[in-house]
Amino acid sequence: MKIMKVAEDSLKRSRDEFVAQWGALGTQWGINRTMAQIHALLMTSPEPMCTDDVMAELEASRGNAHTNLKELVNWGLIRMIVVKGERRDFYEAEKDVWKMFTIITRERKRREIEPALEILNRCAEETKGIKGVEAEAFHNQVKQLGEFVGFASKMSDKISSMKHGLALQLATKILG
Amino acid sequence: MKIMKVAEDSLKRSRDEFVAQWGALGTQWGINRTMAQIHALLMTSPEPMCTDDVMAELEASRGNAHTNLKELVNWGLIRMIVVKGERRDFYEAEKDVWKMFTIITRERKRREIEPALEILNRCAEETKGIKGVEAEAFHNQVKQLGEFVGFASKMSDKISSMKHGLALQLATKILG
DNA sequence: CATAATTTTCATTATTTACTGAAACTTCGA
DNA sequence: TCGAAGTTTCAGTAAATAATGAAAATTATG
């Protein structure tokens, strides 16, 4: 049984490491540490977890755990499920990597690309008719930016609405 | 001349709006407001600007302006240039949208994707040999994630090293 | 070389963002 | 319908991040 213990320890260490580091990374990509940690935790949990499990595992407060679980549900990266004989809410993560990718892509588009597009288009519109080199240069620059971002946005839609297999096929062609 | 004034005003308003909003957006994508504002300013400036110009335009301190100008140079989104007869450093932005895209893509990859990949690969490696359903599930999950992220990383390289024309051609095919 | 102009650094302060913990609220079962 | 179990909210606090401004360092010029 000793060997088993060692294996269990080393699994636990690795998983803890993963959760911790994923949390640290989260801050780099504009989501808070706890949210990223919970995501890491649920992605690698064999069973659904409840709020108290998360609190215990991360040593976080109830409010914090709750808020970030809800936020992850909002994103669509985890879902609430009902465990029979249990009154509490349980959560499980979407584990399919392609689905995760499409969810994250859509959300980033919504949060980062669409607002930018709106500004660019408005500024291009506002300065459309103005005469003079300065005005024309400005108009042209925001127009270019707007067109590019709009284009990128369409691409992102197209790709993230593809089936995994099809995307893979396309990607292979590009890499090849 | 009155009409000219109106046109100038409306250009200025639009540009100020652009700078302000771009700054606000910046915080969404993990760069600070001032950096995004300076970028917006220089992207739409007909002439190179010096630190004092930036300070004046944004009402920011010297330290702040300086730090963020340097950071933008680091990214490669702006460059220092020498204006003849001027002792001060001047800066101008890269205005080509495709070049901007490749710069930003590379930087995000470096900051967001590569560290994630490292963690995923290490965790997969650490748990490779461990027996047991839990260990195997964990190993499998991080391996899948690692493979996907590695793949995405390669794609990002490939695309951002393309010439604009070629990328456009590819994109058109995908959108079509 | 002296000094004026400019850049750079960094300790301090301000602002923003995240977290806590307890109270208010909701739901379910006896 | 009451109370226990659980969820949600939020005012207060802590932590992280960004900005200031002045001093130190560097660089150009007479």
pLDDT tens column, B7-65: 778 999 999 999 999 999 999 988 999 999 999 999 999 999 999 999 999 999 999 99
Q: How many domains does chain B have?
A: 2
Residues A85 and A14 in one domain: yes
Strand partners, B93: B78
Q: Do B12 and B70 belong to one domain?
A: yes
Whether A87 and A25 map to the same domain: the answer is: yes
Looking at B93, B116, B134, the residue that finishes a domain is B93
Instruction: Based on the fold, state whether residues B55 and B105 are members of the same structural domain.
Output: no
pLDDT of the residue at B176: 82
- Which one, of A30, A27, A37, lies nearest residue A110 by Cα? A30
Residues A49, A126: one domain? no
In this structure, are A104 and A152 located in the same domain?
yes
Range of the domain at B16: 2-93
Considering only CB atoms, which chain A residues are within 8 Å of B155? 171, 174-175
> A167 to chain B nearest CA, in Å?
10
Q: Is the CB of A71 under 7 A from strand D?
A: no
Chain A residues with CB under 8 Å of B130 CB are 7, 10-11
Same domain, yes or no: A35 and A80: yes
Separation between Cα atoms, residue B72 and residue B83, nearest integer Å: 19
Residue A168 has pLDDT above 70, yes or no: yes
- Retrieve residue B126's tokens: 């650490």
The alpha carbon of residue B43 is apart from the nearest alpha carbon of chain A, in Å, by: 8
Residues A61, A143 share a domain: no
pLDDT surpasses 90 at A154: yes
The pLDDT tens digits of the residues spanning A130-139 come to 999 999 999 9
How close does chain A come to B141, measured CA to CA in Å? Answer: 7
CB-nearest to B137 from A29, A46, A175 is A46
| Contact in structure between B23 and B41 (CB atoms under 8 Å) | no
Question: Does B121 share its domain with B61?
Answer: no
Does A83 share its domain with A28?
yes
Higher pLDDT, A157 or A176: A157
Instruction: Express each pLDDT in A10-66 by its tens digit.
Output: 999 999 999 999 999 999 888 999 999 999 999 999 999 999 999 999 999 999 999
Whether A25 and B119 lie within 8 Å, measured CB to CB: yes
Of B60, B93, B126, the position where a domain reaches its end is B93
CB A119, CB B28: distance < 8 Å = no
A64, A93, A122 - which closes a domain: A93
pLDDT of B44: 98
Would the Cβ of A87 be found within 7 angstroms of any atom in strand C? yes
